[in-house]
Structure 1
Amino acid sequence: MNNLIIGLSGHIDHGKTSFIKAINNYDGDIRSDEKARGMTIDISFSNVILGDNHISFIDVPGHEKLVKNMISGAFGIDILVFIVAADDGIMEQSIEHLNIAKLLGIKEVLVFVSKSDLATKERIKEVKQEIIKLIKKLDLNLIEISEFSIHKAELIKNAKEILSKLKNNKKESGKFFRYYIDRVFSKKGFGSIVTGTILSGQINKNDKILVCDLGKETIIKNLQNHDKEVENATIAQRIALNLTIPKENLKKGMLLCKKGILRGFDRVDCVIFPIQKIINNQNAVFFIGSKKINATINILEENDTRILATLKLDEVIFSTFKERFILRDNMKTIGGGMILNPITDPMKKAQKIQYLKYLYDDDFKNAFKILIDAHKCGFGLLQSLQRFNLTSSECVEIAKNIDDIFCDKDSLVIYNLESKNIVKNTILNLIKKNKNAIFSANSISNELKWSSPNFNKEVIKELESKGIIKKSAPNLYISTKSNIDDVFSYAKEEILKILQDGGMTPIAPYNIYDDLNIDRKLGDDIFKNLTKTKKVVRLSHNIFILTTELNKIMQKARDIIKTQGYIDIASFKKHFNISRKYIIAYLDYLDNYGDIKKEDNKRMLR
């Protein structure tokens, strides 16, 4: 079965809702105020099976003030059915609807001249010629133009035949699930239900998905497509989802996606195709998916056909590369376009303009070069689906063809030569400060959070080849000027000295490692050895003390108990002027002795 989403568009009272009713007996005017006013206010959805096509109809309003609902319905449409009444012909709102369709990337248009029973053949011919001329001007693809009347059975039959033969030339499924909520309601016995169109990817019953705007995950309890429960759904399907989040927390315009794919930003860079004059810093209403928010247009560069701009938004959005949007001002559509850079990047204006041009042309290799230059500490590929609609593997393949960079395929980060110099200088400063510093690729990453171990290894290889550093143990390095023979023995002795100097208040292991400039894993291995050989006792997470020192403290604590009958924090503090964290650690250690008991936070002999 071929799934098609068909949007109906046209001027008020030109017969869109009547068209649907004639095709499948569905009355789109579902609200009482719609019945009373004789027009469709909110987006109306219905479906029908014609031949091999399972068609979802989206009836969008023709009233100018409600074009925002038309935009909400247009996202995800495969084919636009354009209804023009034979008596009225093309109206202003009809033209606006076609402009919106073009701006949203809807190319295929099927036209029906409605109310053909109310016009002469000459008038119908005239209207058809006007429509053909308009569609050609907008560079849209006219599938067919046919007459229609709800009062003529043969024309209804003909319309059904045309619809049954339509083909969906839609893109592939897409690389991840995306779904804008366009309706929210609750149903007794089910709870919260949302409806929308799957824009990409697929979803399964019991999947866990993220409501991006809330930052909360929810379970898909049930899915429904064309009034039937289904186990899964894919791109271009109208789907109702039964969620575990309360209805009150959900709103039209919220985006559903799998966790970890999209990040939200209140500034995005884009290309705008204006249909009215747009000026710098102009305020507009921004429509994306079923979301509507205010925006300020900051023009970066413009020519006769397009504008490169940054949109400053009132809210955070979770947009994707080349996602379509519409801009309106003063009740009119002023343009639309595509998101080119959904992720905010630190760039100079000239650099950003060139970057956006590369993205517009899908020239990712040169776009990567600009990002590599802009991100002095490397740029990550974890958001590549959102940023470029490319998988990280596809990005890695592109990076292979770029000179003078390092691409870490494990950490998914690309670095430039300037980044390498930062790592190199960090190591050189370390061994200059302490010729006996012991470091590894991992310990450099602890110092430079942005630098991956694999990237550090490349720098270490260079310094080793130049005779500046040498390997002293597996994965460990020291300066060639160091006098260390065995790094484990050296570091062990230094650690014991520091513990000895610390006495009752030894400093934490990580502070010792920093003071000695030694690798953390090496230090952890030494502490494990010292505790195993009982030279050191671990009192708490980060308090390690020499066994000889601990024995002295325990003996003094026992003497206090014998003298006053007990020991607690106050009496311990009186005899040992040390901080509370150490006192508590020593008191807790007393509990390990069988002849000591604890009562009301006091330790005493049994």
Structure 2
Amino acid sequence: MIIGTAGHIDHGKTALVGALTGVDTDRLKEEKARGISIDLGFAYLPTEAGTLGFIDVPGHEKFIHTMLAGASGIDFALLIVAADDGVMPQTREHLALLDLLGISSGLVTLTKADLADAARRGEVEAEIAALLDGTSLEGVEVLAVSAVTGEGIEELRARLVAAGRDFSARAAEGRFRLAVDRSFTLSGAGTVVTGTVLSGRVRVGDQLVVSPSGIAARVRSIHAQNRKAEEGRAGDRCALNLAGEGVSHEAIHRGDMVLDASLHAPTERIDTSLRVLAGEPKPLGQWFPVRFHHGSTEVGARLVPLSEDAIPPGGEGLVQIVLEKPIAAAAGDRYVIRDTSAQRTIGGGRLIDLRAPGRKRRTPERLAQLAAMGEADPDAAVALLLAGEPFHLDLSAFARDRALGGEAVQDIAQRLGLVTFAAGGTLTALSPERWKIFRATLLAELERFHDANPDLPGMGAERLRLTVPPRLAKPVFTEALRRLAGEGALGLDGAWVRLAGHEVRLTRADELLWELIEPKLSGTERFRPPRVRDLAGLTGEAEADIRRLMKLLSRMGRVDEVAHDHFFLRPVVTGMVAMARELAAAAPGGQFPAAAFRDRIERDEHAVGRKVAIQILEFFDRHGVTLRRGDLRRINPHRLDLFGAIGENDPASATSPAAGRASHPVMGPDFKSGRTISMIGDT
């Protein structure tokens, strides 16, 4: 258990910790000379209930930021009031900070009891009771002590041991986070950082990240609760000996967070709840400047209320906090805001969404999302989020921003029966009810498309994605299509999506003509196939009939008209896309000239000439596969699957003989409707 002191300057916080532990927490020369605490002090008390850790904070108003750096990690508050002085300004402010941080376990010590008689003690105790009324420490015990005479010290120690015995340790199932409050170099060891473990556990040898800087670090050794250990866990005071490139005490500062690498995702725009203290002189309006305190960090920020009205003194509401620089945090963490002159505490609350939008921050849909995200229980939050817009959720990001453990995502999905898709480096979830709606809507859209376009093999995947709500990210939508295809609900033919029973076929005459034409578009001449007029001469068929059939085959996805009357087989086009992508990957800045593309084709084939190479590239330009600037072109990654299989993303596979080849429908009935679709040849 971590015990933190709080109270006005010169009320005996350091002396009391010394009387309990035998440790003088004023370690700096300036502290010794001035007789006041300036920085955080630390002490430990081994007991039968385990080692109790003490964080002694400075009481001077100029060091409230330092007090907050220590108070954010404590489990038990020791509010200290001198019997001779009574309640003073920093007594009130420190209590307000403890209240805003949600610290509800603690007791009040009436120090310097030897300087007050019974009447004075009773007077101050009444003052304290009134002060605690309505706060998180309301009703806690008041104990008179004296570090000079020893009065009450043993009783206080016994009360702390009892509290430590009853204390429920913080759960360590989450991912590791430690808020750094000190960083220094230890002779013979190297860089050491200290702080309170906010969540999870850490072991010797673990690979961590210092956030927000992103420095990678390895744990060489651990001291937990002032003892050498192989592991530190949530609630412990830990010293971590870190090693790694870039690791130094100059590179790691108070306010940094040492954490599990999967949690490294700094943020500078956060939606939060906020309670404004009643003593604030005026309401907090748009872009109100503040100092933001979270964990051990302090950073400038501005507030944007998420309502039309400013938040009045004593009021509560939702606000967006825009930070001057990124920080590492987790949803659910507590924070405090103070004025820019560091003279008063304004309020505080909980972090809700670390990825707050800069626009449309006050819409009903957004406010409903925040209400869902404000749920402390992860299952309840996920269920509510999936019940409203946009009806899908990145579970991986949700777990990361809450610092949930490795198995938490799958456990949540299983408990709620979610439909999940692992794609694009995320795990996206839909509720079972929303998946049924999505599935039915998608199949109905395909049926509508087939009825309106019976001569087409299917609907383009991207067009379908933009039509069917909820609008899923492209990789997720691709996985959804594959799942439906696996169920037999639909078919995937190259870049087309069709109902499982939908088939398009050629007439018998067109099939026979295609059997004559197809060999002449393949083989060694596939990169410079004959044009329509040449095909007419080679087959003895009318030029108009050849052109009609080729146009029809183009709509079916078997060929592509690269230039007027110049048709290439679809697998050949797919192979050329792969060649262009290969060139871009190897070219400086990802840009290549037409001559390089021509040379790449000719590396394994006969000469195609600059004119044909330009025609091919202009065809790619028209379809957005390549983007041209002057004489150079680069690849548009969002259009790479246009001439390949849905979700095709690998250039190596695209150069294989079967790459991108559409599944040619066979003649037969439409299994959904029982009808046979015949292509009559009318273009």
Structure 1 length-normalised TM: 0.73
Instruction: Identify the match of residue 66 of structure 2 among 65, 69, 73.
Output: 69
**CA shift at 1:237, angstroms?**
0.6
Instruction: Identify the match of residue 254 of structure 1 among 253, 256, 261.
Output: 256
How many residues are matched? 515
Give 2:179's aligned residue.
180
What code does the residue aligned with 2:367 have?
I
Give 1:532's aligned residue.
none
Q: Does residue 414 of the first structure (1) align with residue 411 of the second (2)? A: no
Q: Is the 8 A contact 2:129 2:138 kept in 1?
A: no
Distance 2:10 2:193 in 1: 29
Q: Is the 8 A contact 1:84 1:114 kept in 2?
A: yes
What code does the residue aligned with 2:428 have?
V
Q: Is the 8 A contact 1:399 1:407 kept in 2?
A: no
**CA shift at 1:522, angstroms?**
11
CA 1:522–1:191: 2 relative to 1, 3 Å: same
Secondary structure of 1:273 counterpart:
strand
Distance 2:604 2:113 in 1: 100
What code does the residue aligned with 2:335 have?
F
Distance 1:323 1:494 in 2: 68
Q: Structure 1: state its 5+ residue gaps.
A: 505-510, 525-539, 554-578, 580-606
Matches for 1:550-561 after TM superposition, within 5 Å:
none
Give 2:271's aligned residue.
269
Give 1:450's aligned residue.
475
Give 2:349's aligned residue.
337
Give 1:400's aligned residue.
417
Give 1:507's aligned residue.
none
Distance 1:292 1:460 in 2: 52
Compare 144-153 and 410-419 and name the one that shifted more.
410-419
Q: Does residue 324 of the first structure (1) align with residue 330 of the second (2)? A: no
Matches for 1:537-548 after TM superposition, within 5 Å:
none
Give 1:558's aligned residue.
none
Q: Structure 2: state its 5+ residue gaps.
A: 467-471, 530-558, 563-567, 578-596, 610-631, 633-683
CA 1:226–1:368: 2 relative to 1, 3 Å: closer
Q: Does residue 280 of the first structure (1) align with residue 285 of the second (2)? A: yes
Distance 2:236 2:100 in 1: 22
Give 1:480's aligned residue.
503
Deviations 1:269-323 (A, max 9, x none): 0001110244112110000011110111100135864110111111112221111
Q: Does residue 312 of the first structure (1) align with residue 322 of the second (2)? A: yes
Q: Does residue 384 of the first structure (1) align with residue 398 of the second (2)? A: yes
**CA shift at 1:10, angstroms?**
0.8
Give 2:366's aligned residue.
352
What code does the residue aligned with 1:159 have?
L
Distance 1:107 1:495 in 2: 83
Instruction: Identify the match of residue 89 of structure 1 among 73, 83, 86.
Output: 86
What code does the residue aligned with 1:265 have?
T
CA 1:288–1:139: 2 relative to 1, 3 Å: closer
Distance 2:10 2:492 in 1: 83
Distance 1:432 1:519 in 2: 26
CA 1:293–1:425: 2 relative to 1, 3 Å: farther
Distance 1:65 1:266 in 2: 26
Compare 365-374 and 382-391 and name the one that shifted more.
365-374
Distance 1:451 1:262 in 2: 23
What code does the residue aligned with 2:268 have?
D
Deviations 1:5-62 (A, max 9, x none): 0001111000000001111221111111111111100011111113323111100010
Q: Is the 8 A contact 1:204 1:233 kept in 2?
A: yes
Give 1:535's aligned residue.
none
**CA shift at 1:80, angstroms?**
0.4
What code does the residue aligned with 2:255 have?
G
Q: Does residue 134 of the first structure (1) align with residue 131 of the second (2)? A: yes
Distance 1:36 1:305 in 2: 43
CA 1:470–1:309: 2 relative to 1, 3 Å: closer
Distance 1:222 1:135 in 2: 42
What code does the residue aligned with 2:263 have?
I
**CA shift at 1:185, angstroms?**
0.7
Distance 1:382 1:426 in 2: 31
Distance 2:507 2:119 in 1: 101
Deviations 1:407-434 (A, max 9, x none): 4378621356797668997999899799
Q: Is the 8 A contact 1:108 1:142 kept in 2?
A: no
**CA shift at 1:440, angstroms?**
9.9
**CA shift at 1:91, angstroms?**
0.6
Secondary structure of 2:163 counterpart:
coil
Secondary structure of 2:301 counterpart:
strand
**CA shift at 1:194, angstroms?**
0.7
**CA shift at 1:86, angstroms?**
0.4
CA 1:426–1:220: 2 relative to 1, 3 Å: farther
Q: Is the 8 A contact 1:116 1:147 kept in 2?
A: yes
**CA shift at 1:216, angstroms?**
2.5
Identical counterparts, % of pairs: 25
Give 1:596's aligned residue.
none
Distance 1:74 1:61 in 2: 11
CA 1:192–1:139: 2 relative to 1, 3 Å: closer
Structure 2 length-normalised TM: 0.66
Q: Is the 8 A contact 1:381 1:395 kept in 2?
A: no
Secondary structure of 2:79 counterpart:
strand
Secondary structure of 1:57 counterpart:
strand
Distance 2:351 2:522 in 1: 60
Distance 1:38 1:119 in 2: 22
Matches for 1:557-568 after TM superposition, within 5 Å:
none
What code does the residue aligned with 1:241 have?
L
Give 1:203's aligned residue.
202
Matches for 1:158-237 after TM superposition, within 5 Å:
158-167=155-164, 168-237=167-236
Distance 1:243 1:432 in 2: 65
**CA shift at 1:397, angstroms?**
4.2
Secondary structure of 2:476 counterpart:
coil
CA 1:310–1:175: 2 relative to 1, 3 Å: same
Q: Is the 8 A contact 1:365 1:399 kept in 2?
A: no
Secondary structure of 1:146 counterpart:
strand
Q: Is the 8 A contact 1:440 1:519 kept in 2?
A: no
Q: Is the 8 A contact 1:436 1:478 kept in 2?
A: no
**CA shift at 1:545, angstroms?**
6.8
